[in-house]
Structure 1
Amino acid sequence: MSRPPAILQVLPALVSGGVERGTIEIAEATAAAGMRAYVASAGGPLVPQLEAVGATHVALPLDTKSPLAIWRNAGALADLARREEIAILHARSRGPAWSAFIAARRTGARFVTTWHGAYNENVPGKRLYNSVMVRGDRVIAISRFIADHILARHPDAAGRIRVILRGVDPRRFDPAAVPASRILAQREAWGAAPGQRLVLLPGRMTRWKGQMTLVEALPRLPGVRAVLVGAGSASFAGDLRDRAAALGVADRLVLAGHVDAMDVALLAADVVVHASTDAEAFGRTVTEAQSMGRPVIASDLGGPRETVEEGVTGWRVPPGDPAVLADALARVLAMPEAEREAIGAAARAVVLRDLTTEAMQRKTLDVYRELLQ
């Protein structure tokens, strides 16, 4: 190899989301470590951010599941791998992973995958389609929950799995860096009266994220204001408004849509709720809230079981039960302020110790170096 090692990450597009953010964070670490960082995708608004951290973007139509397109993309990736002496192809999604897997076999590059979800196998052929994610020389699981999920289906992958939890950037999510005036302005923008309790649920506007559970808990929480942060289905948002109106709590529900300053939004809340009814692979919104020192109540399934220690760094409740969620919220909101702050501080300490972006980057680079050696 005549140049520094090159790492090529592949994913469908660079639009928004945790997968995209993680891709940029690893590209940044790769470049900072003196390696050459490449990312192939169909593009999107995050391309300038990727290029700003020192990576090269290669535009390919990787946002497709068409077998013919996957085959063509494999050829393009193989050409790129030969031309740029790519040492490792790192795939983060199944369609692009097939193209990367074929390209790696053609060129002799090493192949790495990251499992960002618990892929279902409920239709014929899905198991084969998903299987590419376990064909890596190394298979990164973003939580122990995902590692167990992989092993239950593919026990032969045991020696190749590396658990690397997702990371939070403590510089971006730092409660000390947010002026009180911004917190007050955010609360006022959401219509919260002085002293009114405010509960925040951040998450994409889709049914399984559990927003309806929080809406149906509101009648049991007199005076509490609920804010749902996140873009997504307009139809589901309409359903939430209709249900709130039917329950008589429409005046205490805010659908805030996408929010750029999530650090401010989290600090504006008295409690942050994660209410997903399906198991999250990790649950990044939980650790972001913990990094801001906010008390968190999370669904007791999937990744949050690993980041929310009951009564120590937050609380867990059964998913999809408005009554139980309401009871938990009432208990936490009734706690003395100092006790809630102590829970938030303990949660932030765990994030700073174990769940930072830097830790995720370092452990991923260790995987790369293991294969390069």
Structure 2
Amino acid sequence: MAGFAATVLQVIPALDAGGAERTTLEIARAIVEAGGRALTASRGGRLAGEIEAAGGRVVSMPVHSKNPLTIWANRARLLDLVRREGVDLVHARSRAPAWSALWAARAAGIPFVTTYHGAYRANGPLKRFYNSAMVRADLVIANSAFTAAAIRAQYDLPPGRLAVIPRGADLDHFDPAGVSPERVEALRRAWGLPARAAMFALLLPARLTPWKGHETAIAALARMVVNEPSSRDAGNQPVLQLIFAGGAQGRGDYAARLRAECEKRGVRSMVHFVGHCADMPAAYALADVVLAPSLRPEAFGRTAVEAGAMARPVIAADHGGARETVIDGETGVLVPPNDPEALADAIREIAAMPAPARARMGATARARVAEKFSTAAMCAATLEAYRALLARRAAAPAGPA
């Protein structure tokens, strides 16, 4: 991806955990590696240091605010940054900062790009207008075909203005061969889990929020315990362990509700709330199966591709982006959303597989991610889109891109 001598400003509310935030880091790294300059305007967060370490620069700015006055003030802040740093292209990744970035890019006469990291709902004309900042760009990127269809259902975009560039997994970072047994064992001990051979580990990596399906997973586990007492009492059978890897992010009441639900259903000792995990490759390596039982459709669902890259089968809700990233029966299992019994059946199905069959499913998953959903492919497609916009702008400097 060499030969990209441009300065790109990405604008995102914060740089904590999440798919949009991780993509911002990955694109910043790709820009720098290709020879360009990568700026990010954001409130900041845990990924800011990683962007700086990759050679990018993070500029603190209140672009997370939805206050109309702050959004308007951010327009001037961004325009000043664009002019001061010689920015060639602005890329916004969320609605509120997209308005500020749109005005700044138009005032500076440079291309403006947006990425839909989710399929926004529009309940009424005011919300639809608020969302429309994302489609006023010279190029609108959708992170999946599902997201692109949702955009087309609401807005009439001219041909060529909408591109599908799926999110990707870093195949070097998420590589089973690169995760040592010591890393996995250290994580197991830190999380207080049974010995590896004595458990069948179910990993649900997601922040603690109701729509991610944690309650569905608890209900499925409870059904398995009632129907199969060996799920609770090890004996010669591995004990089911359900791991929630994700922070509460201010939703302490919901976390407490989940714990109470575990107590009520008699599975509290089998469910582990481990919080944010800094070593997700090791977490996936520790798991036997990865769960993605979201109640609402995931716009893309990076869990499925990261788990697949780590050669782990995924059980996902059968809607949204999961239909693109999981092949039912080949790389994992798709189940009806919010159906604990179906989820329990899928867990039983994969748990009953001989280890070689489960390994083949995992290997198929990794091969599919390598073919269709790698970070390298996502970054290459994004930089190529930047190049095309900049070339069009250079050819017609007085007109819109």
Letter aligned with residue 311 of structure 1 = G
Contact 1:300 1:318 in 2 (8 A): yes
Show the counterpart of 2:199. Answer: 196
> Would you say the 8 A contact 2:201–2:243 is kept in 1?
yes
Task: Let me know the Cα RMSD of the aligned residues.
Answer: 1.6
Q: Residue 196 of structure 1 aligns to which amino acid in structure 2?
A: M
Which one is further off, 321-330 or 186-195? 186-195
Contact 1:313 1:346 in 2 (8 A): yes
C-alpha separation in 1, matches of 2:36 and 2:187: 41
Aligned pairs for 1:230-309 (under 5 A) are 230-232=246-248, 233-309=251-327
The change in CA–CA distance for 1:56 and 1:248 in structure 2 (over 3 A counts) is: closer
Deviations 1:253-288 (A, max 9, x none): 111111111111111111111010011111111111
Match of 1:151?
A: 152
* Residue matched to 2:366: 348
Alignment-derived partner of residue 66 in structure 1: 67
Deviates more, 1:184-193 or 1:355-364: 184-193
Matched residue, 1:28: 29
Distance 2:294 2:314 in 1: 13
In the alignment, the residues of structure 2 paired with residue 166 and residue 20 of structure 1 have an alpha-carbon distance, to the nearest angstrom, of 12
Q: Percent identity?
A: 48
Aligned match of 1:225 in 238, 241, 250? 241
TM-score by length of 2: 0.89
Contact 1:13/1:43 (<8 A) preserved: yes
- Cα deviation digits, residues 214-268 of structure 1 (max 9, x gap): 1001123231221111111221121112112111211211111111111111111
1:215 to 213, 218, 221: 218
- Residue 43 of structure 1 deviates from its aligned partner by 2.3
Shift of 1:44: 2.7
Please give the alpha-carbon distance, in whole angstroms, between the structure 2 residues aligned to 1:323 and 1:34: 52
Corresponding residue for residue 6 of structure 1: 7
Q: 1:24 to 1:185 in 2, by over 3 A?
A: closer
* Amino acid corresponding to residue 11 of structure 2 in structure 1: V
Q: Report the AA paired with residue 148 of structure 1.
A: A
Contact 1:11 1:92 in 2 (8 A): yes
Question: Which one is further off, 354-363 or 186-195?
Answer: 186-195
CA deviation digits over 1:126-155, x for unaligned, max 9?
A: 100000101110000000000000011113
CA offset digits 1:282-319 (Å, max 9, x no partner): 11111111111111110111111100011111110011
The one-letter amino acid paired with 2:254 is F
Q: Deviations over 1:155-187 (max 9, x none)?
A: 324421111111111111111112224334434
- 1:324 CA drift (Å): 0.7
Q: Per-residue deviation at 1:46?
A: 2.5
Equivalent residues in 2 for 1:123-162, closer than 5 Å? 123=124, 125-162=126-163
Counterparts of 1:288-367 in structure 2, within 5 Å, are: 288-367=306-385
Shift of 1:47: 2.2
> Could you list the runs of 5+ residues in structure 1 that have no partner in the other structure?
none
Q: Which SS does the other structure have where 2:160 is aligned?
A: helix
Partner of 1:170: 171
- Aligned residue for 1:82, secondary structure, equals helix
Secondary structure, in 3 states, of the residue corresponding to 1:121?
Answer: coil
Please identify, of 296-305 and 194-203, the stretch whose mean Cα deviation from structure 2 is larger: 194-203
Q: Report the equivalent of 2:108.
A: 107
Equivalent pair of 1:318/1:324 in contact (CA under 8 Å): yes
Q: Is the 8 A contact 1:190 1:227 kept in 2?
A: no
Provide the C-alpha distance between the structure 2 equivalents of 1:92 and 1:114, rounded to a whole number of angstroms.
5
Q: Which residue identity does 1:190 align to in structure 2? A: G
Counterparts of 2:86 and 2:349 in 1: how far apart (Å)?
Answer: 58
Q: Distance in 1 between matches of 2:339 and 2:348?
A: 14
- Helix, strand or coil for the counterpart of 1:197? strand
Q: Which amino acid aligns with 2:216?
A: T
Q: Calculate the TM-score normalised by the size of structure 1.
A: 0.96
| Aligned-partner SS, 1:125 | helix
Residue 123 of structure 1: how far off its partner (Å): 4.9
Query: After the TM superposition, which parts of structure 1 deviate over 4 Å for at least 4 consecutive aligned residues?
Result: none
**Does the C-alpha gap of structure 1 residues 258 and 220 become closer, same or farther in structure 2, counting only changes over 3 Å?**
same
Q: CA deviation at 1:79?
A: 2.0
- Letter matched to residue 204 of structure 2: L
1:43 corresponds to: 44
1:75-98 CA-partner distances (Å, limit 9, x unpaired):
121122223222211000111110
Return the letter of the residue paired with 1:340: R
Q: Which runs of 5+ in 2 are unaligned?
A: 226-230, 232-239, 392-401
Alpha carbons 1:151, 1:158 under 8 Å: kept: no
